[in-house]
Amino acid sequence: MKTIKTVKELREYRKTFDGKGVSIGFVPTMGYLHDGHMALVDASVKANDITFVSIFVNPTQFAPNEDLESYPRDLDRDLKLCEEHGVDCVFTPDPDEMYQNQKTYVTIEDLGAHLCGKSRPTHFRGVLTVLTKLFHFTRPDRAYFGKKDAQQYFIVKKGMKDLNFDLEICPVDTVREADGLATSSRNVYLSEEERKAAPIIHQALEHGEASIVKGMKAQDLIDQITKEIESEPLAKIDYVSVVDQEDLAPVEVIDGPVLVAVAVFFGKTRLLDNFFYGE
């Protein structure tokens, strides 16, 4: 497995595959890899001849009050995992390699305004900007994204379509711990008590999903999920939303494909989860 730190070297390595008829898969990550990331890697390794992974804690998607500095990192462990899972090349640039007095950003209208966009207004601009760069370097046929970060998946899919990137954005199902908590690098922030309480999110979503009937009012579902999550005193809801899968705008009545998404704080840790209905 190759480990590359500079854009120049990555571009040169990528060129060695040109004209060879090989398919390239790409898994962008911020490292501290867990089973959810490895499911993306496995999907890429299975479907493509060559798999690139990037490990880069991207400063432009963090607001000044967020956890950029403390975001968990363990590069040695990450590289070992990538090697074990059959990755061909890992790109681990320093921030200076990716950004030098950056003045150009990629933004999306409307889709970034709802859900996480409300409390993280500059987040998706950072995500689309770094991905645009990474896609230029790796020129993948397919790139892999977890459905847990559903808004990110929809935004990347629409953004890359709008910009005519010639690649497929592939969604991969959320991986869960045995008690239902969605895997996330941020789960390490949870105290023992918070960790015990956090599966309430998935439970509430499962109960919500089971009680959906076509034509029901979205607000009734939101109220039900909210009530169950709030039965856990350590949980503080950021949002519970039911949005259209096309434009991510809130719906009033559930009669087509929707995304039911939540963000919940346990202490300072903000956890995301969701389910897709009527796909």
Catalytic sites, residue numbers: 37
Binding mask of the shown chain, residues 144 to 173, with x at each position contacting ligand PAF by CB under 6 A: -----x--x---------------------
Strand extents, DSSP E, 220-267: 235-244, 258-266
Q: Compute the distance between CA of residue 60 and CA of residue 154 in angstroms, rounded to an integer.
A: 19
Closer CB to ligand PAF, residue 115 or residue 212?
Answer: 115
Please, what is the minimum distance in Å from the beta carbon of residue 13 to ligand PAF?
Answer: 20
**What CA dihedral angle connects 153, 155, 159 and 162, to 10 degrees?**
100
User: Residue written as tokens 């061909």?
Assistant: 88
Binding mask of the shown chain, residues 56 to 85, with x at each position contacting ligand PAF by CB under 6 A: --x--x------------------------
The site that binds ligand PAF (CB under 6 A) totals a number of residues, namely: 10
Q: Are strands 168-172 and 142-146 parallel, antiparallel or unpaired?
A: parallel
Q: Compute the distance between CA of residue 168 and CA of residue 108 in angstroms, rounded to an integer.
A: 18
Please, what is the minimum distance in Å from the beta carbon of residue 105 to ligand PAF?
Answer: 14
Q: Does 235 bind ligand PAF (CB under 6 A)?
A: no
Contact 36, 122 (CB under 8 A): no
- In the region spanning residues 111 to 130, those forming contacts with ligand PAF, defined by CB under 6 A, are 127, 130
Written as six digits, the tokens of 57 are: 């804690």
Q: Does 199 bind ligand PAF (CB under 6 A)?
A: no
Closer CB to ligand PAF, residue 106 or residue 200?
Answer: 106
Q: What is residue 41's three-state secondary structure?
A: helix
Please, what is the minimum distance in Å from the beta carbon of residue 195 to ligand PAF?
Answer: 21
CB count within 10 Å of CB 165 equals 18
Binding site for ligand PAF (CB under 6 A): 28-30, 58, 61, 127, 130-131, 149, 152
